[in-house]
Amino acid sequence: METILIVDDEKNYPFVLSAVLEEEGYNTITASNGVEALEKIKAHDIDLVLTDIKMPGMDGMALMSHIKAHNPDIPIIIMTAHGTVERGEEAVKKGAHSYIFKPFQNEQLILSVKIALNMYQVIRQNKRLQNELQSRYHFGNLIGKSKNMQEIFKTIQKVAPTNASILIEGESGTGKELVAKSIHFNSSRRDAPFVAVNCSALAENLLESELFGHEKGAFTGASTLKKGRFEISENGTLFLDEIGELSMNLQVKLLRVLQERSFERVGGIHPHPLDARLITATNKTLSHEMKEGRFREDLFYRLNVVHFSLPPLRNRYEDIPLLAVHFLEKYTKENKTKHPVTKIDQDVLRLFYEHEWPGNIRELENVIERAVILSNNDTIKTSDLPGDLRGKHEKTFNPDDISIQTSLPETLALIEKNLIERALSRANYVQANAAKSLGIKKSLLHYKIKTYQISIGSKN
Ligand SMILES: Nc1ncnc2c1ncn2[C@@H]1O[C@H](COP(=O)(O)OP(=O)(O)O)[C@@H](O)[C@H]1O
Ligand SMILES: [Mg+2]
């Protein structure tokens, strides 16, 4: 719950505003002059300041410059009397987020507060990330604060010590291999090898001898004995990637190995025990492949004792800033850039929220690596991003684009429409989720969509 500090020397005003804002679900604190306001800011965690401009002693402008100097992350909304547009403009030039004329409608106040809090959220988030990176959102090399990822961390902890076979499904770049490694390194097998084989990279017969190994002279070209991956991964973990690409023939052979927990090298007759723990991964939906007759049902059940489904990045936007900062640190260290790149511009984060991320975390990692190399100073800017990400920038709202002649209600409507569009896009057009992220009721969102004629069908 956000806390708003209301500063006004008129006796009753703060109480009225306080009631309106508390009704909206905010915490409020009041102060009757600038000095008292500064004390309250020191003592409490304030998210927004709503201040009158005309006050005896330290007035609203002086209060604002104090706040700007010591707490630049707190947005300030100035309240000014009708007919003093210049004072409001001046306040905005000096760093107020916006101004509002007294007397105002409750809805007008609430909307201004909501917009200011939304805009500053990105900035504050950026700062909090640094601390969060060190905390509970880390599981080894895996990072994630989304509910999905937190669940995945818990499941890894539970299954790692067991020998259960594991199937990991997820789009390319969602972290399947990283999860497999994390399971390995959290198990008692951590000192034995982690052996990865990509089933789609080799032709069938090559893959067979890669997995099973072969005896000397087993086939033309087999001039020496070769140990296979089943053998090399002894006591460790065998990770079979792209298992959905395994041929029917090899599916039968793998099934037999799993049933008997033993295998023979190609051209050999001696059975060798299979000691490895098996983890498989695929970017296909194996149950679907099974129904289509491309994957054996009996093998599927052998592999799928424990199932992980890694969500695409577009379904866990809350992980983006955390991952972005993580990769920023990684590539700044690796590249030994002339100047350390330590910050991400808030426009960049906004673009990240709007992007679909078809390549998931791998794509985000590449974007950051490239930006670190291109960056001219300590901050990644939109100009350091590849074109396909920047192309969408027009969609982002920029207050400077609005003519100063546009009336306040019109301006607020434009901002509101933009925020709603972005929230919808971010929530994949699930209106209940968009409403939640905007902090409004679904019925109100529905009404606004109709009023502003916002398109809710496609994503572009
Ligand atoms: N949760 C995560 N936290 C940090 N880095 C991640 C995470 N998931 C994936 N990565 C990184 O993203 C890249 C792609 O991950 P990878 O496991 O190879 O994906 P997949 O096997 O699903 O294609 C790797 O560099 C990996 O380290
Ligand atoms: Mg992979």
Question: Does the N-terminal peptide bond of residue 103 adopt cis geometry, omega within 30 degrees of 0?
Answer: yes
pLDDT for 393 equals 46
Query: What's the mean pLDDT in 365-375?
Result: 94
> Which numbered ligand comes closest to the C-alpha of 179?
1
Of residues 243, 235, 308, the one with CA closest to residue 277: 235
Report the atom number in ligand 1 closest to the C-alpha of 170: 22
Report the atom number in ligand 1 closest to the C-alpha of 177: 17
Report the atom number in ligand 1 closest to the C-alpha of 172: 23
> Which numbered ligand comes closest to the C-alpha of 360?
1
Of residues 307, 309, 276, the one with CA closest to residue 184: 276
Mutate to test the pocket of ligand 1, among 178, 197, 245, 329 (most ligand atoms within 8 A of CB): 178
Work out the angle at residue 416's Cα, subtended by the Cα atoms of residues 425 and 49, and round it to the nearest 5 degrees: 115
Could you tell me if 224 and 232 are in contact, meaning their C-beta atoms sit under 8 angstroms apart? Answer: no
> Does the pLDDT of residue 411 top 80, yes or no?
no
Query: What's the mean pLDDT in 29-57?
Result: 93
410 vs 444 pLDDT, higher one: 444
Query: What's the mean pLDDT in 250-266?
Result: 96
Of residues 6, 161, 173, 125, the one with CA closest to residue 77: 6
With a 6 Å cutoff on the Cβ, whether 174 touches ligand 1 is: yes
Of residues 199, 224, 226, the one with CA closest to residue 212: 226
Of residues 170, 153, 118, 141, the one with CA closest to residue 357: 170
Predicted confidence band of residue 104 (pLDDT cuts 50, 70, 90): confident
Report the atom number in ligand 1 closest to the C-alpha of 361: 12
Secondary structure of residue 128 in the 3-state scheme: helix
Q: Which domains does the chain have, with CATH numbers?
A: 1-125 (3.40.50.2300), 147-310 (3.40.50.300), 314-394 (1.10.8.60), 397-460 (1.10.10.60)
With a 6 Å cutoff on the Cβ, whether 176 touches ligand 1 is: yes
Tell how far the Cα of 175 is from the centroid of ligand 2, in angstroms.
Answer: 7
Query: Which residues touch 66 (CB under 8 Å, ≥6 apart)?
Result: 34, 38, 58
Tell how far the Cα of 240 is from the centroid of ligand 2, in angstroms.
Answer: 10
Q: Which residue CA neighbors atom 15 of ligand 1 most closely?
A: 175
Helix, strand and coil content of the chain, in percent to the nearest 5, comes to: 50, 15, 35
With a 6 Å cutoff on the Cβ, whether 236 touches ligand 1 is: no
Query: What's the mean pLDDT in 71-95?
Result: 86
Q: 292 — alpha (psi -120 to 50), left (phi > 0) or beta?
A: alpha
pLDDT for 394 equals 44
> Does the pLDDT of residue 79 top 80, yes or no?
yes
pLDDT tens sequence across 373-385: 989 888 999 999 9
With a 6 Å cutoff on the Cβ, whether 361 touches ligand 1 is: yes
Strand partners, 171: none
pLDDT for 392 equals 54
Report the atom number in ligand 1 closest to the C-alpha of 179: 17
Element (H, E) at 48: strand 48-52
pLDDT for 130 equals 56
With a 6 Å cutoff on the Cβ, whether 143 touches ligand 1 is: yes
Tally the C-alpha atoms within 13 A of residue 341's C-alpha that lie toward its C-beta. 30
Mutate to test the pocket of ligand 1, among 169, 279, 362 (most ligand atoms within 8 A of CB): 362
Query: What's the mean pLDDT in 207-226?
Result: 92
pLDDT for 131 equals 55
With a 6 Å cutoff on the Cβ, whether 117 touches ligand 1 is: no
With a 6 Å cutoff on the Cβ, whether 365 touches ligand 1 is: yes
Strand partners, 30: 6
Burial label for 138, CB within 10 Å (0-12, 13-18, 19+), is middle
Tell how far the Cα of 176 is from the centroid of ligand 2, in angstroms.
Answer: 6
Report the atom number in ligand 1 closest to the C-alpha of 171: 22
Of residues 159, 203, 153, the one with CA closest to residue 178: 153
Tell how far the Cα of 173 is from the centroid of ligand 2, in angstroms.
Answer: 6
pLDDT for 208 equals 96
C-beta atoms surrounding 244 within 10 Å: 19
Report the atom number in ligand 1 closest to the C-alpha of 283: 22
C-beta atoms surrounding 280 within 10 Å: 27
What is the rounded CA–CA span in Å between residue 398 and residue 385? 18
Q: Which residue CA neighbors atom 16 of ligand 1 most closely?
A: 175
pLDDT tens sequence across 164-184: 999 999 999 999 999 999 999
Q: Which residue CA neighbors atom 17 of ligand 1 most closely?
A: 175
Q: 15 — alpha (psi -120 to 50), left (phi > 0) or beta?
A: alpha
Could you tell me if 85 and 78 are in contact, meaning their C-beta atoms sit under 8 angstroms apart? Answer: no
Predicted confidence band of residue 155 (pLDDT cuts 50, 70, 90): very high
Overall residue count recorded for the chain in this entry: 460
Which residue do the tokens 């630049």 mark? 72
In degrees and rounded to multiples of 5, residue 379 shows phi and psi of: -125, 135
Distance of CA 17 to the CA centre of its chain: 35
C-beta atoms surrounding 191 within 10 Å: 8
- Average confidence score pLDDT of the chain: 89
Q: Which residue CA neighbors atom 23 of ligand 1 most closely?
A: 173
